[in-house]
Amino acid sequence: MAAEKESDWSGFFSGCVPPPNADSSARAMAEFAERHSAQGRRVVLVTSGGTKVPLESRTVRFLDNFSSGWRGAGSAEYFLELGYAVVFLHRHRSLSPFSRRYSGLNLLDALKAVPVAETTRWRVEADQAALPGIVPVLQRYTAVREAGLLLPVEFSTLSDYLYLLRAAAQALSPSGPKAMFYLAAAVSDFFIPASEMPEHKIQSGASPLQLTMQMVPKMLAPLVKDWAPHAFVTSFKLETDSSQLVARARKALATYRHQVVVANTLETRRVYVVIVTEDSQIDLALSENEVKQQQEIEEKIVQHLSECHTNFIEKSKSPE
Amino acid sequence: MAAEKESDWSGFFSGCVPPPNADSSARAMAEFAERHSAQGRRVVLVTSGGTKVPLESRTVRFLDNFSSGWRGAGSAEYFLELGYAVVFLHRHRSLSPFSRRYSGLNLLDALKAVPVAETTRWRVEADQAALPGIVPVLQRYTAVREAGLLLPVEFSTLSDYLYLLRAAAQALSPSGPKAMFYLAAAVSDFFIPASEMPEHKIQSGASPLQLTMQMVPKMLAPLVKDWAPHAFVTSFKLETDSSQLVARARKALATYRHQVVVANTLETRRVYVVIVTEDSQIDLALSENEVKQQQEIEEKIVQHLSECHTNFIEKSKSPE
């Protein structure tokens, strides 16, 4: 598989409508990256969640990928802990850093209205038993917000994601090797071009339904080559068949020539990954004891990658 | 289009694995319907949210339908206000009654930790400005919970939904004409039978991707005919092309012989619907002023249907 020609992805963009937040988010990301770079901080783009691919132009039906966003949201927290500024490019309604721990909860089950003595007013209090660890989580979240270290940017469809990814790459590119891309979103490989899409809801009379999906151009190619050529780029590879995992990771590295592939399988992804680079392959796993203590594999991934990133920055200062 | 033969839907079930909550939910729904019927209360099944259709058996990709669950969740609230007991069969992570108003919110933006004077403890308080109307909403929610008037049951895939719909129909059937079905979920028309599904993640090398989806058997047929033959059944029809709306609603009524179709278009669904019965067609719409006052079309739909339901119950007492 050869790297895609420029026409593939530029053709993709010319057939799509930019998302409503395209301009404002591009400005916000550029300002964010510039400010933190000026302060000597590393900046990471974390992508998270699945992408929607419409099957109709007035969309009722779409193709989707499995992804709660747990990995991306958790990783963003660990990057913040290590001093990174984080652009969090995430699917609408996927999990967010910090609040991810409370996502299964009905808000109303965790609150109660308490009358304020000698007034007609009510105080609304949270039940801390329903929100485990809420006080330290709130304190960390508030500190991050007040320091302006986290910039959330939202997408929903595949084309929104690709627009915003390009804008993010252009925003982080001036940070050179101190920028990292951590592409954990589960991006669709297939789409239906706007020109081939029916306008109205597909009628159910015409059985069976035949769908022909085209390949999405791999944006890793222009990202590494043109949009942010000096950055440290990590992609993710999720497979269900573990026998093909490392071979497919190596093939991606050879094709796109970026720094790292984090390879994982659907069933073991919460406890085991392989960090694959051009000349190394390192297993990261949680022990049974670590699982019991609710440690997360994302902490190990982020710790490891930040060390790789340090080496990458050093190396780029003194080219051999 | 003729009503489907029994073999169509029983064949569907024999090819699927029941959801993990099938037995416990069936028992809970039967107990719920029996208890409320014994107390003379009407019982409504509200279905809500979209359905997932897996494309691979170890699922990474799936086909989905657009639906936040706003209509179903809001309608459930209005049924509760009118004295119904509500079984709320909803898609995992779709909106829930009462809490739907706060779904866009990051929980952590609405809470603050306040030190409790002269202790090392913290109180966690909600910011009522970030949660408009929270005190009356909490009070209504708590009253409904304490009276046991709302039974939430969750599904995720199409086959989970169909299993639980059948169980719900069987649970509500003994309530006879006092049971209502309000089928607001956006159910997929297409699926890939388990026997035709690849086990592993579809590889992206093989471009373009051809998918062949089979028609989902229409469960409205056995529901009306066999599972709950004396109940009051309302289905929804969502189209994007308004010119075909009422004709398609009439066709569904003629095919399935249930009581009501609520017909609506994607673009105007929040302000306008047509209530179609065998011999009538009534427009319900929100005026500009009602929209300003944040009235909801669901209130009008539920009010209107509960009146139809009253007539239906009366009529069933004294058959001509």
pLDDT in tens, chain B (320 residues): 344 455 577 778 877 889 999 999 999 999 999 999 999 999 999 999 999 998 877 667 888 887 899 999 999 999 999 999 999 999 998 999 999 999 888 999 999 999 999 999 999 999 999 999 999 999 999 999 999 999 999 999 999 999 999 999 999 999 999 999 999 999 998 888 877 777 666 666 656 888 888 888 889 999 999 999 999 999 999 887 788 889 999 999 999 999 999 999 888 999 999 999 999 999 999 999 999 999 999 999 999 999 999 999 999 987 55
* Whether residue A128 has pLDDT greater than 80: yes
* pLDDT tens per residue across span B172-189: 999 999 999 999 999 998
Checking ipTM against 0.95, whether it exceeds it is no
The angle, 0 to 180 degrees and rounded to 10, between the axes of the packed helices B158-172 and B22-38 is: 30
- Domain assignment present for residue A132? The answer is yes
- Domain assignment present for residue A298? The answer is no
Query: Hey, what's the torsion of the CAs at A19, A24, A28, A29, to 10 degrees?
Result: 30
- Mark yes or no for CB contact B138/A65 under 8 Å: no
- Domain assignment present for residue A43? The answer is yes
pLDDT, position A57: 73
Q: Determine the Cα–Cα distance for residues A276 and A261; give it in Å rounded to an integer.
A: 5
| Mean pLDDT of all residues in A111-135 | 94
Closest-CA distance, B132 to chain A, in angstroms, reads 12
- Mark yes or no for CB contact A102/B99 under 8 Å: no
* pLDDT tens per residue across span A247-264: 999 999 999 999 999 999
pLDDT, position B208: 81
- Mark yes or no for CB contact A267/B209 under 8 Å: no
pLDDT, position B28: 98
pTM here is: 0.89
Q: Which of A66, A124, A139 sits opposite B113 (nearest CB)?
A: A139
State how many domains chain B has: 1
- Mark yes or no for CB contact A61/B58 under 8 Å: no
- Domain assignment present for residue A295? The answer is no
Interstrand relation of B232-239 and B260-265 (parallel, antiparallel or unpaired): parallel
Question: A60 contacts in B (CB within 8 Å)?
Answer: 65-66, 186, 238, 240, 266
- Cβ-proximal residues to A297 (8 Å cutoff; 6+ apart), any chain: A269, A270, A271, A272, A273, A284, A285, A286
- Mark yes or no for CB contact A1/B205 under 8 Å: yes
- Mark yes or no for CB contact A126/B128 under 8 Å: no
Q: Which domain holds residue B148?
A: 2-230
In whole angstroms, how far apart are CA B69 and each of B88, B107, B296?
11, 20, 14
Q: Which of A52, A213, A238 sits opposite B208 (nearest CB)?
A: A213
Q: Which of A134, A201, A213 sits opposite B124 (nearest CB)?
A: A134
- Domain assignment present for residue A308? The answer is no
* pLDDT tens per residue across span A153-199: 999 999 999 999 999 999 999 999 999 999 999 999 888 887 777 76
- Domain assignment present for residue A301? The answer is no
Q: Is B16 exposed, middle or buried (0-12, 13-18, 19+ CB in 10 A)?
A: middle
- Mark yes or no for CB contact B64/A61 under 8 Å: yes
Q: Determine the Cα–Cα distance for residues A70 and A50; give it in Å rounded to an integer.
A: 11
Q: Determine the Cα–Cα distance for residues B167 and B27; give it in Å rounded to an integer.
A: 9
pLDDT, position B49: 95
- Domain assignment present for residue B24? The answer is yes
**Residue B176 region by backbone torsions, left for phi larger than 0, else alpha for psi between -120 and 50, else beta:** left
- Mark yes or no for CB contact B186/A60 under 8 Å: yes
B111: which DSSP letter? E
Measuring CA to CA, which residue among A158, A144, A176, A136 is closest to residue A313?
Answer: A176
Q: Which of B106, B139, B240 sits opposite A201 (nearest CB)?
A: B240
The residue among A57, A108, A158 with the most chain B CBs within 10 A of its CB, best to mutate, is A108
pLDDT confidence of A2, banded at 50, 70, 90?
A: very low
- Domain assignment present for residue B58? The answer is yes
* pLDDT tens per residue across span A190-220: 888 877 777 666 666 656 888 888 888 889 9
Question: B106 contacts in A (CB within 8 Å)?
Answer: 96, 99
Give the mean pLDDT of chain A: 91
Question: B93 contacts in A (CB within 8 Å)?
Answer: 93
CATH number at residue A203: 3.40.50.10300
Chain B: residue whose CA lies nearest to A52: B64
